Amino acid sequence: MREPATGVWHWQAPHPDWSPDDRWPREVSSSAVDDGTRLLRFDPLSVPPGLLALGADRRPVVVLTAPWHERDTRSLVERLGAPVFTPPPDTADDLVRKFGVTREQAGAGSLDLTWLRTGAGGAGRLYAAGDRLPVGIDAFAGREHNDLVLWDGRVQAVIAGDTLVDFGRGLQINDRLRGGITREQVVRRLRPLLALPVEIVLPAHGAPADRAALERALSL
């Protein structure tokens, strides 16, 4: 675990569902921000003991950048009673558009976070691009309607899901684009971030990056 800024943490852990066929490295990243009252955990996996101890004095919150980044969310909800903020899981129409499957194959839509959506797992709160979460986070459109990029102005940090990644070649826009979206469209969606005083980028895949790396990633 590293602390790239005061009250900001970033760590990596092997994803339990990873296979050699996946296009992303087995080690994935999570991050956390302490706002003095709450400890926000973003896309959490294998939360370090030190952060669990710190969380004893803070209100726990889990924020997912994408619904498929559940990772250890359920165990944190069961252990801490944390509310979960997440973009909406894919509907059947989304699956048809993104993956080219048939309507029959799409069924009722994605199974992501089913336990949370049924109400059995605690408080799940959906958010979308353009929203300001009640925990002080702003959501920007990413490569998909439910793969979002977040801004925390208190620590001048961008928190990215699968839109901005570092798979070993530096921070860049994920080249796995679905549903007809282009890289140029993603760049246009994210360029408003450059008007903000960004100091840190915390990706869900790769190491923390700085503003210069973000500028390079969003160059046309």
Q: What is the pLDDT of residues 7-45, one digit of tens each?
A: 999 999 999 889 988 888 999 999 999 999 999 999 999
**Across 64-77, average pLDDT:** 95
**What pLDDT digit, counting tens, does each position of 159-171 carry?**
999 999 999 999 9
Write down the pTM of the prediction.
Answer: 0.94
**What pLDDT digit, counting tens, does each position of 83-141 carry?**
999 999 999 998 999 888 999 999 988 989 989 887 755 568 999 999 999 999 999 99
Task: Output the pLDDT for position 123.
Answer: 65
DSSP-H helix ranges across 107-220: 114-117, 183-190, 211-217
What does the DSSP 8-state code read for residue 161?
S
Task: Output the pLDDT for position 134.
Answer: 96
Task: Output the pLDDT for position 161.
Answer: 94
Task: Output the pLDDT for position 52.
Answer: 85
Task: Output the pLDDT for position 120.
Answer: 55
Confidence of residue 180 (pLDDT cuts 50, 70, 90): confident
Strand, helix or coil for residue 213: helix
Cβ-contact 22, 6 below 8 angstroms: no
Task: Output the pLDDT for position 122.
Answer: 55
